[in-house]
Structure 1
């Protein structure tokens, strides 16, 4: 399957590999399976990093005289990892949403609805829509 075409029925690994391969590609389309496997991957890694942060913060935590607790110094390391993960995945995530909207025959800029109240719910519904053949107008075949 060429990279410019959606990968219907994508496996978890294929969807993740494809998302990183098309890191900042806002052209073409992405199937629902490509999109939702990516969302699951980002969620799982985020939960693991958050858990790591809590564990590292708890491991070196100290209790102050006034009863408050200060997290351990490694808590900051986990925080930095979380920020780096966010920065490293924001572009492919945005590109994938854009391509998913294309697959439902919607223009990518509909993503910006996310910035208005309740707009993110609308974008969520858009990502759930089935593929439409008309979305092929967004394809940009490459040699």
Structure 2
């Protein structure tokens, strides 16, 4: 079984902790690093080379959209999933244009994040139910 290396970027410690526990409870996944802002995410991802990054959209500094753009530009093989409260199609579109391949709302059931990680790691795009309202087919 392939062991997926996951990096978490979110400015809320309680969210990072919960996501880390969720991911680390999966036998085929492990969290290899965390950041509380976009700059830290870009640096940490560059240093640790995870398979998947779980990225908050709104963070201090450069934020998730720009951090995703920088990661995709330098390491396009690393897959990024947005984990966010932003339900608007504009945010989804901006994240996908920046290079993300998954979008999960923070209010979604935890299993959707796990499913998203597995799907994007295998090369697929993923938009969790509830986060796909009004999204044009741009995957």
Give the TM-score taking structure 1 as reference length. 0.30
Could you say which structure has the higher strand fraction? 2
| Structure of higher CA gyration radius | 1
